[in-house]
Structure 1
Amino acid sequence: MPARPSSRALPGALLLVLCAACSGGADAQDPPAGGHGATAGAAGVGDTLFPKLGNGGYDVTGYRLTLDYTPDSRHLKGTARITARATRALSSFHLDLAGLRVRKATVNDRPARTARGGTELTLTPAAALPRGRTFTATVVYDGAPKTLTDPDGSKEGWIETDDGAVGLGEPTGSMTWFPGNNHPSDKATYDIAVTVPKGLTAVSNGELKRQETNGGRTTFQWHTGEPMAGYLATVAIGRFDVQTTTTGDGIPQYVAVDPTETDGPGHLPDQVTDVIDWETRTFGPYPFSSTGLIVDHLPDLGYALETQTKPYFDGAPDEALIVHELAHQWFGDSVTPRAWKDMWLNEGFATYAEWLWEEDHDGRTAQEIFDDFYDGTDDESDGIWDFPPAAPPTARRVSDPPVYGRGAMVLHKLRRTVGDKTFFTILRTWLKDHRHANADTRRFIALCERKSGKDLGHLFEVWLYGDGKPKKP
């Protein structure tokens, strides 16, 4: 992890178990349409780093989560209604869920059989699901959600705070508080309603559609209309000072700050506006219907996370960290990697956004920062040569320094090779072509070569895929 962690750190110890066994992966060939030949959906999508994450046989289009949480008892009650389309004829299918008790489940409003095995919840519907059929699965569950502990001691999943809790999901933690297809390749819309004791606030992704208090408890209903990967979903529960404003382009902005971190939101809304406006000028139109921040008081967490539309910070952030996490709204949240091995498309781009911000705000030039990384004099340069940024060797290293710092160096080398005009055309085209979708490194390289008219094979072979430290550029 970089000296100043910019985003999610190492995966949880649970992932070492998840990655120990290889999955059969996505279904190689769909059976005929209809229920004939229906088989069980795969437990995992065959991700090379996290083979048991996600599930085969269906594509989720929307989640409707109804949650009720009491911090004093740490008890969560939830109902997840999932709308999906069968991509093959299914006799049963899997959802990812860690812990919690499943009280009942239905598919298309008919009782479904359930079975548990590790982090897999298997639902068997009363009748097979034909390929191409849209269906709904509803799971009613409760319990004390898990916190996953990483090998370095960092946390993810459902984490208690001084006055509530927060759900953080990169790369696996979302399955500790709702069942789903927990892989970035399956993005969906989200409606999340959270009921908490009166006096607390529940902040989530997207826009607040309703806030209502009854019988000493308050419900906050949030809507995310643009597709979102499950690891980017969040719920932060606690006491927050909230300020609602708009950006320079009129985008609604919701900033929630734990009062122990600052005297209210203060200057943060203005910082968000400044950064969003600058990143819009640099990268193209902001990809979502709203923006904001969540600043909590969780000093032992040790990282920030680019939760969609409202990045989460464990304490009052500095300017560079705000730039980084908001840049993820373009790189990672709107354009999401198809597989976890392409994590550099998130972190290298967000790190390079920090370099560009510093260059544009009377700091070091991007070339000077590149040189400091190469020479090892930048505080965040430790460990950047450990492995190629596009080839994390294991799941536990998917967010290590090469993915951040050396990933940014790849982009700077590209910029110097193709020139500023072509470079920024590449970035804007990348974001436009894959807006709200998934993409991978192969597609990025192809776009770079198409837009530049150059053979860039050597550049990417050395800086993106090469082992060790390249010769002095």
Structure 2
Amino acid sequence: MDDYDVSFYFLDITVTNTSTLIEGNTTIQATALFPLDTFAFELIPEMVISQIFVNGTEYTGFYHEGNNVLVPVDEIAAGNTVTAQIFYSGTPPTGSFFVGVDHAHNNNYNMDVTWSLSEPFAASDWFPVKQDLEDKADSCWVFLTTASDNMAGSQGLLTDVVDLGNGFTRYEWKSSYPIDYYLISFAVSDYQDYSIYAHPEAMGGDSMLVQNFIYNTPQCLEDKKPSIDETPGMIELLSDLYILYPFSNEKYGHCLTELGGGMEHQTMTTLGGFWFGLVAHELGHMWFGDNVTCATWSDILINEGFATYSDYLCRYNLVSETEGNSFMSSKQSSAMGQTGGSVYIPIDEIYPGNEWRIFSGRLSYDKGAAIIHTLRHEIQDDNLFFDVMGTFQTEYGLSTATGEDFKNTAEEVTGLDFDQFFDQWYYGEGYPIYDLVWYSAGGEFHLSSTQTTSSSTPFFDMLLDIKLFFTDFTDTIITVHQTDNLNEFTVYTGKEVAVVQVDPNNWTM
């Protein structure tokens, strides 16, 4: 599959809210990078293929190799367009979290719902696909036919709703933004559409759609509306801190399902509820995960670490500083709950069946967010830190990036060297442990700082804040630079120190 570049996915499928059955066709449009005599894609054997057309010609000699489908074709020259249309049907397997399609019943509202979840390796459970993070399609259409008492949500704009006259309706969704394979989705239920609008400052008074498909009962709207109504404020905040919401020409939205958590499907998050932190986290993914997607699963920091940090920013700015600080403290404590494991994921730890290593709450989410917070402190300038975030979005937007790419952007914007920072915090394991001995005499504060570490990383070169409480009941914060396992510091204060507090604002673990 490395011999072609995907430009467009068009899913035209029939779905139901009562099972995971799917039938229909998917069109993959691509450009041949080399001469092609075989067109390959991924689709699990449980999905039965009835016909395959490539550039208008039907080919019947296709065959499976595991989840790969190979189609011998008349040679296609490099640079030429390949249009493959695959007709298929089947019931994707269920029974675990990482399955492509799932179905459930909500007892509270008496609703059936079916939804997709393709991350990281399960898009091929329900549509023909090339599962390559670095090969984003330029655009996608998702046409969903379902019983007329249902509604079905997906990416981009709902361009038409077609009554087919046979008790079925087709919802035609079109998105013109580049999209990674696992961010294509659907959800179907007896929904109602509760739409509101956000007004990011960068839109100059214009508005953008926030479209929410929730269960079609008055009680559901009454229950969910207060939380949903917090979403525009989050969009406006993150648009100010990063860059304008990346898909503002289309929408942001939610499809309510029975998913245990949320999934940042591009422009239309799938989630199981509307609690503040979940909505903030999944929204943060629109910048980090969707606009800029991790180039490899090893670099899941780009997705989950930054989405968790977006949750922190929303709590700190929209709820209270106390709430934000408490949240960050909990992430740091979680990260220190064990000593092993790095935020960067070694390639040999990434494979089907080991998905929870990618989505480790402690490492990918919590420690990821914690080291971003520490990096912010290392920069020592909030405006510069958010310039890094915005520049990264601009440089790698609608594409993919690695942790190294983020490091390079941070170095370009700040002029600082972050090699050591990434070696110890991103690729390394554990955290620093400090033993401080101090005394105050003659208007000077003397500090002996000994650093050991919890794991294999031998040393953490870092800035450390020390809050000094003086005998006259005033206080100040000094920042020292730990450059070795043992450092001695002397600071002139002009007064006597009574008490010290290490890292008073929880910048680091």
Shorter-chain TM-score bucket reads: 0.7 to 0.9
Contact 1:410 / 1:460 at 8 angstroms: preserved in 2? no
Distance in 2 between residues matched to 1:148 and 1:437, nearest whole Å: 33
- What are the residue-to-residue correspondences of 1:232-271 with 2, within 5 Å? 232-249=183-200, 250-259=207-216, 262-263=220-221, 266-271=225-230
Q: Deviations over 1:302-351 (max 9, x none)?
A: 2211111111112x221111111001000010001111111111111011
Distance 1:373 1:339 in 2: 24
- Partner in structure 1 of residue 403 of structure 2: 441
Which of residues 420, 442, 445 is equivalent to 1:458?
A: 420
1:277 matched to 2:236? The reply is yes
Superimposed CA distance per residue, residues 225-273 of structure 1 (whole angstroms, 9 cap, x where no aligned partner):
1011111111101111212232114112211112478235523442221
2:323 and 2:411 map into 1 onto residues whose CA distance is 25
Cα drift, residue 210 of structure 1: 0.6
Long gaps (5+) in structure 1: 1-54
Ranges in structure 2 where 5+ consecutive residues have no aligned partner: 106-111, 201-206, 435-463, 465-509
Deviation string 1:433-458 (CA, Å, 9 cap, x unpaired) is 11111111121111111211111122
> How far 1:382 sits from its partner (Å)?
6.9
Given the alignment of the two structures, is residue 159 of structure 1 paired with residue 102 of structure 2, yes or no? yes
Change (3 A) 1:73 1:432: closer
More deviation, 100-109/287-296: 287-296
* Partner SS for 1:226: coil
How far apart are 1:383 and its partner, in Å? 4.9
In the alignment, which residue of structure 2 is the partner of 1:92?
Answer: 38
CA-to-aligned-CA distance 1:108-130 (integer Å, 9 cap, x gap): 011223111221111221x1121
Conservation of the 8 A alpha-carbon contact between 2:132 and 2:181: yes
Change (3 A) 1:350 1:384: farther
* Pair 1:296–1:386, CA change in 2 (3 A): farther
Q: CA deviation at 1:385?
A: 4.2
1:426 to 388, 397, 403: 388
Structure-1 separation of matches of 2:313 and 2:225: 26
* Residue 315 of structure 2 corresponds to residue 351 of structure 1: no
Match of 1:199 in 2: 149
Correspondence 1:387 to 2:347: no
Correspondence for 1:114: 62
- Deviation per CA, 1:382-426: give whole Å up to 9, x if none: 756431101256122011020111111111111111121211110
How far is 1:366 from its partner? 5.9
- The amino acid of 2:140's aligned partner reads Y
Q: Any idea what the Cα deviations from partners look like across 1:5-60, whole Å, max 9, x if unmatched?
A: xxxxxxxxxxxxxxxxxxxxxxxxxxxxxxxxxxxxxxxxxxxxxxxxxx311111
Asked if 1:175 corresponds to 2:124, the answer is yes
Larger relative contact order, structure 1 or 2 (CA cutoff 8 Å, min sep 6): 1
- For 1:43-442, list aligned pairs within 5 A: 55-72=1-18, 74-98=20-44, 99-112=46-59, 113-125=61-73, 127-147=74-94, 149=96, 154-162=97-105, 163-188=112-137, 189-213=139-163, 214-249=165-200, 250-259=207-216, 262-263=220-221, 266-288=225-247, 289-298=249-258, 301-314=259-272, 316-360=273-317, 361-364=319-322, 369-374=327-332, 376=333, 380-381=334-335, 383=337, 385-392=339-346, 394-395=349-350, 396=354, 397-400=357-360, 401-418=362-379, 419-442=381-404
Residues 333 and 133 of structure 1: CA distance in aligned 2, closer, same or farther (over 3 Å): same
Q: Is the 8 A contact 2:392 2:409 kept in 1?
A: yes
Q: Deviations over 1:56-111 (max 9, x none)?
A: 11111001111012455653212111110111112113211112101010110112
Q: Secondary structure of the residue that 2:85 maps to in structure 1?
A: strand
Over 3 Å counting, the alpha-carbon distance change for 1:176 and 1:421 in structure 2 is: same
Question: Partner amino acid for 1:271?
Answer: E
Measure, in 2, the Cα distance between the counterparts of 1:266 and 1:371.
30
In 1, are the aligned partners of 2:228 and 2:274 still within 8 Å (CA)? no
Match of 1:17 in 2: none
Amino acid at match of 1:220: Y
> Which TM-score applies when normalising by structure 1?
0.81
Contact 2:104 2:113 in 1 (8 A): yes
**Quick one: distance in 2 between partners of 1:442 and 1:365?**
31
Change (3 A) 1:206 1:384: farther
2:278 match: secondary structure: helix
Letter in 1 for 2:22: L
Distance 1:408 1:164, change over 3 A: closer
Number of residue-to-residue matches in the alignment:
407
Determine helix, strand or coil for the equivalent of 2:99. strand
Instruction: Report the secondary structure of 2:159's partner residue.
Output: strand
Q: Show CA shifts across 1:107-164 (max 9, x none).
A: 1011223111221111221x11211111101101012123362xxxx24311112224
Letter in 2 for 1:203: G
Maintained 8 Å contact 2:4/2:34: yes
Deviations 1:335-386 (A, max 9, x none): 0111111111111101111222222231337666544444x2xxx5475643
Q: 1:384 to 1:184 in 2, by over 3 A?
A: farther
Distance of aligned partners of 1:248 and 1:143 in 2 relative to their CA distance in 1, 3 Å threshold: same
Instruction: Compare CA radii of gyration and give the structure with the larger one.
Output: 2
SS in 2 for 1:462: helix
Q: CA deviation at 1:221?
A: 0.4
Q: Are the aligned partners of 1:233 and 1:307 in contact in 2 as well (CA < 8 Å)? A: yes
Q: 1:206 to 1:454 in 2, by over 3 A?
A: same
Would you say the 8 A contact 1:385–1:406 is kept in 2?
A: no
**Percent of pairs with identical residues:** 26
Q: TM-score, normalised by structure 2?
A: 0.76
Amino acid at match of 2:418: L
Partner of 1:35: none
Q: Kindly provide the amino acid, as one letter, of the partner of residue 211 in structure 1.
A: V
Contact 2:227 2:275 (8 Å CA) reproduced:
no
Root-mean-square deviation (CA, aligned residues, Å) is 2.0
The answer to whether the 8 Å contact 1:383/1:402 transfers is no
- Equivalent-residue separation in structure 2 for 1:148 and 1:341 (angstroms): 26
After TM superposition, the structure 1 stretch with the greater mean CA deviation from structure 2, 261-270 or 335-344, is 261-270
Which residue identity lines up with residue 168 of structure 1 in the other structure?
L
